[in-house]
């Protein structure tokens, strides 16, 4: 190989394989769609502690997927090498909420579709998916399960407290009961009729009831 052969290498030919205009348009669209996914995630988030870093990750994933697919579609040989390179990547971060997986796949899918030039599919599909997520995740708060923790003195006060609770909520189920000498602790899962929580004050005012606590509950955490 001579010195001139270096400048005639096919590596330099790949510089113009994707036009600058196509790159800018694809990345701008990817950023806009990633921002839309981020806003839907922020709107539908129902966890304990919101992480803004995950929202930024959704935008970055959309743009990264677009870059990768642009490179793959411009070179068949590169696509084979990309598959081998990505196959050795391992992600160790635990996903706590199953809905987060949907947002991750959503970001990656939008990036792939945009880079493939299917802009209407990415835009219309994302809008419909965002509407579905907002409708099905933003339920009224009183329809969500709650836990009521009641501390009573004896069996008689327990019966009075449970009767009052049953009359004030739509549904109540005892999840656990701890009995000690002079003390009974109850954990009751309830579905409220509305957003009114005055029944907790009434429970705490009953004779023989030491305290009553209402906490939100989703099956994984209480807060």
Beta bridge partners of 152: 184, 209
Domain that includes residue 60, residue range: 3-137
Number of domains in the chain: 2
Q: What are 31-67's pLDDT values in tens digits?
A: 999 999 999 998 887 665 667 788 888 999 899 888 8
The answer to whether position 223 is within a domain reads no
Statement to judge: residues 126 and 196 lie in one domain: no
CB distance 184 to 158 below 8 Å: yes
Burial of 18 (0-12, 13-18, 19+ CB in 10 A): middle
The pLDDT of residue 207 is: 86
The pLDDT of residue 221 is: 44
The answer to whether position 35 is within a domain reads yes
Statement to judge: residues 130 and 160 lie in one domain: no
Q: Which stretch of DSSP H or E encloses residue 212?
A: strand 209-216
Q: What's the pTM value of the predicted model, to 2 decimals?
A: 0.62
Statement to judge: residues 150 and 196 lie in one domain: yes
Statement to judge: residues 101 and 168 lie in one domain: no
The pLDDT of residue 223 is: 44
Statement to judge: residues 130 and 105 lie in one domain: yes
pLDDT at residue 134 tops 60? yes
Domain harbouring 189, CATH code = 3.30.70.60
Taking residues 141-164, report their average pLDDT: 83
Work out the pLDDT band at 81, boundaries 50, 70, 90: low
């Amino acid at each position: 190989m001579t010195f001139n052969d270096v400048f005639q290498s096919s590596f330099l030919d790949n510089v113009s394989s994707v036009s600058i205009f196509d790159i800018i348009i694809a990345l701008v669209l990817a950023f806009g769609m990633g921002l839309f996914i981020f806003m839907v995630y922020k709107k539908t988030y129902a966890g304990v502690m919101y992480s803004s870093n995950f929202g930024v990750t959704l935008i970055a994933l959309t743009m990264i997927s677009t870059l990768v697919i642009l490179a793959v579609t411009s070179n068949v040989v590169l696509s084979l090498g990309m598959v081998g390179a990505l196959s050795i990547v391992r992600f160790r971060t635990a996903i706590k909420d199953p809905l987060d997986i949907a947002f991750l796949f959503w970001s990656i899918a939008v990036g792939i579709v945009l880079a493939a030039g299917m802009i209407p599919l990415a835009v219309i599909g994302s809008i419909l998916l965002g509407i579905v997520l907002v409708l099905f995740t933003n339920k009224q708060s009183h329809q969500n399960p709650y836990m009521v923790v009641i501390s009573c003195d004896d069996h008689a006060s327990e019966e009075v407290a449970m009767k009052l609770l049953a009359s004030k909520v739509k549904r109540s189920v005892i999840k656990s009961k701890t009995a000690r000498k002079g003390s009974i602790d109850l954990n009751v899962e309830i579905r409220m009729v509305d957003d009114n929580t005055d029944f907790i004050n009434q429970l705490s005012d009953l004779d023989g009831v030491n305290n009553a606590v209402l906490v939100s509950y989703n099956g994984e955490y209480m807060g």
